[in-house]
Amino acid sequence: MNVSFFQLSFWNTAFRPFFWFGSLYGIIVIGIWLFVLSNVIINPIQVNAIHWHSYEMVFGFTKAIVLGFLFTAVQNWTNSTILKGENLFYLLLFWLFGRFAFFSVGIWGYISFGFDICSDIFVIYLLVPKLIVPTQKHNRPILYHYALFTVFHILSAICAYSILDPERTLLYIHLSIFVVLFLILIIGGRVIPFFSGVVIQGYSFKRIPKLETLLLYLPFFFYLAKLMQGFVLLSSIIALLLFVTNTIRYLSWKPWKSYQKPILWILYLGYFWVCFGFLLYSISDLNLFPVSSAIHSLTVGGLGVFIYGMITRVSLGHTGRPILASPLTVFAYVLLNVSVLIRVFLPLFHQYKYAYDLSGIGWMICFILFLIQYTVILFSKRPDGKPS
């Protein structure tokens, strides 16, 4: 391929292609899902449709956005270039080829899945040399979580293919969701107070070291409890503990001070949904709340809202533009949170079809608005001429 192609601004940093393709894919997956649910199209999926929907929203959409942000963040932390140009293109290609794993259960499906796993292995290969050094000891949990994400990714797919017990497919997909949530808790715990200090005059907060240590290691106990499926009460207690500890942390940041800055309060709202989602998940483990609603409070809410806040902020800040949310972006922030409320609470009144359709359409509108506003930004050079 022409060398000049890899010198385009689009291949300078991981967030540019992964935010763009991830957002586009988030629209496509939800669109297909709604069409399948409404019997508008013949179901093209060769495995359980719920498993496909869950798998692609985690390992397709969410993974793309996480990779875009993760490599951008690690490059800043290590002050080095890890992924750009040709390597970035090939990692994106591996991820893209991996999106066809469940449209065929034959050899082509397995090849597609192989590409998907290769993308995870490539990520670990790139991160290990940068995060294993003594100066990056505090960032190593990110590497450990991503390694677990890869293991759960493999297990969820081979269960979906019925090579292992297909009944465990959602267990491994849900565990992968929690891995990403815990990555958000680590990264969000750093960037949200920092962003607040930058834009809120006189802002300060008190860090709680013992709480931060607990939040770093509690996730691994949660993984263990979920894998031991007979220990439902234990996983419920740990989820409740995650709600309590993260809520204390959240309130210590004084989120109410962000009300005048939409591009900041959207991150606080995303973190709120993570906290609240842990509470709902805790009681869902005891059959006191629908599991699907609890999971979607963590996915559409925690992941979706936080991701949307980060991709709008990073796309502006890391391309040298003013970090201000446009009116259309603020509208998308509000619409996305309304979509969370619809998806989580309408099923409680047995309005399942409305919940799926309205929240799905709201989601698609939000990411269409992102592409409309940010495509030129992600594809073009920084206005100040600096590398991005």
118: exposed, middle or buried (C-beta count within 10 Å: 0-12, 13-18, 19+)? middle
Segment among 103-112, 188-197, 251-260, 340-349 with least mean pLDDT: 103-112
Q: How confident is the model at residue 139 (pLDDT cuts 50, 70, 90)?
A: confident
**Cβ-contact 157, 55 below 8 angstroms:** yes
Domain topology for 5-379: Cytochrome C Oxidase; Chain A (1.20.210)
Mean pLDDT for 208-227 is: 92
Cα–Cα distance, 53 to 37 (Å, whole number): 11
pLDDT of residue 76: 86
Torsion of CA 27, 46, 67, 235, to 10 degrees: 100
Does position 80 have pLDDT exceeding 90, yes or no?
no
Within 13 Å, how many C-alpha atoms sit on residue 316's CB side? 15
pLDDT of residue 104: 72
Nearest CA among 344, 273, 345 for reference residue 309: 273
Nearest CA among 9, 29, 51, 298 for reference residue 180: 298
Mean pLDDT for 152-157 is: 96
Q: Where in the chain are the domains?
A: 5-379
Does position 56 have pLDDT exceeding 80, yes or no?
yes
Mean pLDDT of the chain: 93
Mean pLDDT for 96-124 is: 91
Cα 353–chain centre separation: 25
Nearest CA among 16, 313, 18, 68 for reference residue 183: 68
For residue 292 the two structure tokens come to 């699907």
Cα–Cα distance, 284 to 182 (Å, whole number): 19
Segment among 24-33, 165-174, 184-193, 273-282 with least mean pLDDT: 184-193
Mean pLDDT for 136-158 is: 93
Q: How confident is the model at residue 138 (pLDDT cuts 50, 70, 90)?
A: confident
pTM of the model: 0.95
- Grouping H, G, I as helix, E, B as strand and the rest as coil, residue 344 is helix
